[in-house]
Structure 1
Amino acid sequence: MLENPRSARVRAVAKLTKRRVRDETGLFLLEGPQAVREALSYRPDGIVQLFATPAAADKHTDLRRRAADAGIDVIITSEQVLAVMADTVSPQGIVAVARQFPTSARAVFAASPRLIAVCEQVRDPGNLGTIIRAADAAGADAVILTGRTVDPFNPKVVRSTTGSLFHVPIAPGGDLADVVDAARAAGLHVVAADVKGDDLLAAREDGTLARPTAWLFGNEARGLDDDALALADTALRLPIYGRAESLNLATAASVCLYETAFAQRTA
């Protein structure tokens, strides 16, 4: 059993909460049984180390079985050691170290996508993780990150995706103008989500949303700036029928992605 919370091995895992260390090592932190379960199902070869407390190992026997099938040893740790490794206040007893697996925008467009989400300057990890999860649920082909969008392998982003990180290609680090040009060249209609845009219901009725679409989503506080909006073919807004001042970015993105998914499948 791994019991020393000050050991070099434990400290190396704990440091993966820092962007600099993730960039240097190409590794990231996975927490909780659901995230590890998805990793074992979709990218078992990417798992470098897998740790569990005795209680968690006894509770999640399916994970131990899947790990064994993939040739991965489960390293048993004390509760104190796992608490040092984890990013959460109340860890669930399972932590893994995995290799990052970013894709490129070029690869995304080479696959002839019909629906993608482009996140420009999205800074909140919870929002990005939820957008990735919504994109996965809506059947989107990829999520592309542009500008200073938060690192998709940030532990909070990873947790917020609840495993969808392993289902949908993520392409970080692009320039928005280049991504929009590539999207248009690939035959996608570029639609910006913006409070000053046209009513989304009209776009639903005229068939706009049934086309192959790249949605642009901007910063939580500022939205898309004028230069970014100018790149889009059109801008659409979600109507608000109640008294809410606005919608959370991730909630709005979820609705937009699903509207397109509905329209494309109906067509």
Structure 2
Amino acid sequence: MQADTSNTPVLEVRGLTKSFGAVQALSGADLVCPRGEVTALVGDNGAGKSTLIRCITGVHPFDEGEIHFNGEPIRLASPTEARARGIETVYQDLALIEDLTVWQNMFLNREIKRGFGPFRLLDRRRMIADSQTRLKRLLVNMPPVRARVRRLSGGQRQSIAIGRAASWGSTLVIMDEPTAALGVRERESVEQLIGRLRSDNIAQLIISHDLEQVMRVADTVWIMRRGATIAHWRVADVSRERIVAAITGADGGDARASAANDRATVVE
């Protein structure tokens, strides 16, 4: 009989540390991403957000601490292992090839072939149809899957990158500044996509400097400062001003003390 994992967080990070020589990049980072929720990770530049994400996704090995995925302790050795587990990351550069079409980007490194033995060919028809089906379910204003990426707007590119990540049976989608440099209408389109992924019960982790967006789309916000997680709140229970005070240290350490008291019950 399989254990019920419906209430188990998709991702749980406990006390992660990471040093690069004499530089302590992480000094006790915690994080929880519940299933079907949007979790925001915020902090000033150099707070440790990017290092934490790279440790989660197998880019960097962490020194101490634990990472649990669907309740199972893991230590990933590469982003390929992360993808195999259902962890997809959308970076700011989107990792889209501009001279390829939408469907070719969808199946990049996942190409479908037909035939036998050494005579296998790319099944273009199937990949085009599959791309259409996958993206139509997620995107309201879907660009033609035969269009080259270089002809798409910034919002369309971002939506394609997120849609690609979410369409591969992902359990957790990590997004780094998902709407940076987008216009108002394009940002709204991406935020609607984030809402649809939540409805599909996909856990999402968003790294963002846009606190207004965090207040709009996130369920929980986690604050990092100097390599450590110093606070976390349900967005409905916290003000933007209190988040800013925690990020900058203007709270006088109250957030860090609160986080220390909560550390033993971080799953809650």
**TM-score class normalised by the smaller sequence:** under 0.3
Identify, as 1 or 2, the structure richer in helix: 1
